[in-house]
Structure 1
């Protein structure tokens, strides 16, 4: 691998979006070099989150402030005594001989204040470069790049389209604030509008992006994340343990890999795919027949949590208890006053035996939603919804949605009457 990348290329045509705080931090540290302070700033983020773009912006800021920009450990250094900015993109991937190159560069910059700006993926091991620079600088700071906010994602999507019709609100939301995904979607529309052929389903650029993220994981981790996608966007350890031979400790190692690759994000209730599009793209790598087998093999259980986050920002989780708030959110039949009492001979007595997730799916199905619409509402694949509906049909002993609707209305009417 090379000892640097060309981050001092001509300025980007479009402005940096959603990284105002990070750019301000970089500028403040560059200004500190003019006061004689050397600093180490590390930028951490999964692939595609904009690390390289931020480093390129840092180079432009440094040039504007009169600092020399050095984008490689072996780049030529001017004899001037001005402050310097050294950019090392993906520093965790520097080759084995980087130590000697770093020592040579530091020797040339001995009498100059320097801002060392490194980027890396989360969880990467510290290298000799990190250790050496920590000891050679007066100040160390770390920036962690998260997903873009919704307004910033919309602005980036508009920039990507460059005067052409923009991405839809749904496309922006499903990208989950991931800059590379927005760029991939924009490139797909450019090709479509120019008459180029693209593969059906997800844009080829997005498939290539997700494939690259998968390849960043170990083979065992790739298998785990593909199986996890079968069960829905929210990832459950119970589901995975029931269909794999992995222990919870091994699964945690896999999820550390997935998080570092940017495929999943961790929130207070567990893990979920980083975006709706990532989940769909990974799930679509699993043949339909294999998905059915995985779902049949899964041990029936009462889910612990349901993922309710969407778009950019941090996802939220809601317990799978049928609280009054959950009941209020679920679609209900319009006429509640004329509901008859529950008839136990109609299977209504079996309603309480359903899990909370099965009751939610049955309620949505009774209100006329298709499997795909139900899946989009509660972040499950249509295959998973179909699997749960078959379980519901068997438990309630019904054979059609009409019969299911009647029992759901009776059950909810009885719940309402008992309050």
Structure 2
């Protein structure tokens, strides 16, 4: 009996160890393309800030942060993910902008029973039809952006829309979600045009938008594409001609690149603003000190918070076993400078409050990066696709 008890105790102890003697986290994102400004090295800095809160070790073992550029290509993303999980001992992959890349990595993670948390891929497919027991959609999705911004613009009289849409999973899903919200509120989409990723020339798409006579031209794209589209829309005189521009995903770094003169008055939905309160400002000051004085996007602080929540679970368990860690993360409310009372839903979607914001005028801005006026807080449950309509196999239907 004593031998059996000792054996059981040893087995329990062995199962509660850190695999390979290190907790390795991979930041997989865009280091050089259209969303590198909003993710890129800033996301690596954010992940390292999370590790530093644990003195760069957990359960007595070191935390290692690595990164790679997926070049916004699904095949490159999946190849890196497989290499990291299978051969390089990576326990967690985070960030991963570009919905096609995010879906590819989530597929690899599910197959290999490894954890994947995306802060930057927005397609609802990640927590709907392609959901995974090892996947978490941390920061936002296209439904939340469409509902927050779409409702606000339609309520202000923007009833007819024309979309200029990035021709990949994120753009198509964002347009589809926005169309549904617009139609629910009595609006109508008159047409759309798809553009390739990182196109330098939006002229043909903008001419079609002008010809449509739509009250609102909606940009269902991200990063550098959104910046170029808004710049060229101004040059083409869309707003001067009476049309409104709505950016369905507008990030802090996009406004910084555009300048307040070009971006002023634009409505957006965001889960985070660096100057929202004392806690958000204090964390953003730490980030700025590490990253050339720049303020974080919500994608970057999403990386910080997701890594932090993961490490808290590993520390509590004394193990990086994927199934045990996922269970612990799902059981634990998310608390940080970013979130209060956020939680991981059954489909892997984090439910968090968000904000409808408006870009300030140059006269309203009091300091560098002081770009947003918060219009209202939107409860997280209002911005999440209803579970009753979910096709995620993890969701139990009554």
Is the shorter-chain TM-score for this pair beyond 0.5, marking a shared fold? Answer: no
| TM-score, structure 2 as length reference | 0.28
Greater CA radius of gyration, 1 or 2? 1
| TM-score, structure 1 as length reference | 0.27
